[in-house]
Chains A and B, each alone.
Chain A
Amino acid sequence: MELFYHLGRYYMMLKLVFKRPEKWSIYLRQIIREIDSIGISSIGIVAILSVFMGAVICIQTAFGVDGAAWMPLYAVGFTARESIILEFSPTIICLILAGKVGSHISSELGTMRVTEQIDALEIMGVNSAGYLIFPKIIAAIFIFPFLIIMSMGLGLFGGWFIGVSTGAVTSYEYIYGIQYDFQPFNVTYALIKTVFFAFIIISVSAYCGYYTKGGALEVGKSSTKAVVYSSIAVLLVNLLLTQLILG
């Protein structure tokens, strides 16, 4: 029962979020701010994670390929590319972002709620859900794909670096593998997923924060909820989209 209550309220919130903005210029300014706070500030963690992820994938695949003598060495590059582009970059990085961005958004909105800042907006006649959440959603939908593309590149680089420096694979073979039977649609598919994930992460964690009741303790609780629920939602939608697009 509770679930339906939350789904209903989530839907009502989205209706408010996508109401016509009072003033586009202010929303635009907010969007630019959010791009910075959601996207630019996440570049570091995404970069580090991607390089290490790529490296580990490369080592593991090289280990497997080594054992199976019938597999060509360029399979290392090929496998690394497939897994990074199809799954690791879009899904794993988005899960990490759900943790970082989701908890940030939820605690920001939760604090604004319990200190009556959201009420203050409402009293001025501002559509608070729209003003606070819409720019975040647009910013994330815009910036997440760039983060993911960067992650793909760095992941592949991490694999190349570790593969070549440990001697597991030669630079030529790895790069040949990366290019082997490349389907550009896979990138499109990954970016479609990313856009959905961006929407879900921001809207679910904003929902958790926006409807916080109580005090500082509850702000903490809603930011935990934001991470848990948006991660679960990302995994569910991932399954759904994968089946729909590739299935």
Chain B
Amino acid sequence: MIQVSNISKSFGGKPVLRDISITFEKGKANLIIGQSGSGKTVLMKCMVGLLEVDEGVVMYDDRLFSDKSTTAHSSNGVNRQSIRRDIGMMFQGGALFDSQTVEENVIFPLSMFTNMSEEEKLDRANFCLDRVHLENANKLFPAELSGGMQKRVAIARAISMNPKYLFCDEPNSGLDPKTAIVIDNLIHEITHEFDITTIINSHDMNSVMEIGDKVVFIHNGEKWWEGTNEEILSADNEELNDFIFAAKYLKALKK
């Protein structure tokens, strides 16, 4: 479980997140949805500490991760690092190490933090790559992969350490509908199988309906709506409806 309380963040006086409080539940795929530019990525980065929040607190289970009053102390840094070992994150742009092959990318965290033998590491990497349906790409470099393949490698790398908390920033944007669903289901499966707290940024309605155990709608940096994918279609929130039923024919359908 990850608990975010009263987070605010602004860039140069321009508020991007306003007083957001959400509880992300364990063993569930928690989706954050919202228009492009609504602050989803910023929220995610605040939660993992790549951006410092202006106000508010982030708790990982009962471990304090980010609290404005403690960032000045170095003890907080130690706690952060230990929490981060439990985090897997897939970035919007992939963020693969481009000097390393696919295999080395997935092995990297294992080499850094475990004492596995070369063979065990390779097995683990192959297992993760299999799960994202990338079997014959081990020796390729990120620059030699398609955008969708890069995303899948990024997911494989994010899950290689068996994280307790998994963050995925738009895991299926730029993928064809079929692969997108495969990826969605994969993340959903892993979440349930290993009882992970998973947080997914998305603006894809298919994902929402398919795997949204819990859905949070962010609008203009504020939490606008929260519920399950079953509740979302019947929600009578104007902005949310605008977002979901963006296409004219869907709007007509809703009426």
Contact = CB atoms under 8 A, between A and B. Distances in A.
A122 B93 CA distance: 16
Given A116-B91, A119-B91, A123-B48, 13 more contacts: A23-B111, A23-B113, A26-B112, A117-B95, A117-B98, A119-B45, A120-B95, A123-B87, A123-B89, A124-B84, A125-B82, A125-B87, A126-B112
A22 interface: yes
B112 A22 contact: yes
Nearest to A23: B112
Interface in B57-86: 81-82, 84-85
B111 A119 contact: no
Contacts of A26: 111-112
A123 B87 CA distance: 7
B148 interface: no
A116 B109 contact: no
Interface of A: 22-23, 26, 111-112, 115-117, 119-120, 122-126
Given A119-B50, A119-B91, A120-B91, A125 B113 contact: yes
B237 to A, nearest CB: 33
Given A125-B81, A125-B84, A125-B85, A119 B112 contact: no
Contact of B95 (A23, A116, A125, A126): A116
A120 B154 CA distance: 10
Contact of B113 (A22, A115, A120): A22
Contacts, number: 50
Given A117-B98, A119-B50, A124 B112 contact: yes
A26 to B, nearest CB: 6
B84 to A, nearest CB: 4
B229 to A, nearest CB: 28
B93 A115 contact: yes
Interface of B: 45, 48-50, 81-82, 84-85, 87, 89, 91, 93, 95-98, 108-109, 111-113, 161
Nearest to B92: A116
Contacts of A116: 91, 93, 95
Contacts of B111: 23, 26
B32 to A, nearest CB: 17
A115 B95 contact: yes
Nearest to A123: B89
A23 B93 CA distance: 28
B107 to A, nearest CB: 11
B112 to A, nearest CB: 6
A107 B49 CA distance: 25
A68 to B, nearest CB: 56
B96 A122 contact: no
B84 A122 contact: yes
A112 B97 CA distance: 8
A35 to B, nearest CB: 16
20 contacts: A22-B113, A23-B112, A111-B98, A112-B97, A115-B98, A116-B95, A117-B95, A117-B98, A119-B45, A119-B91, A120-B95, A120-B97, A122-B49, A123-B48, A123-B84, A123-B87, A123-B89, A124-B113, A125-B84, A126-B112
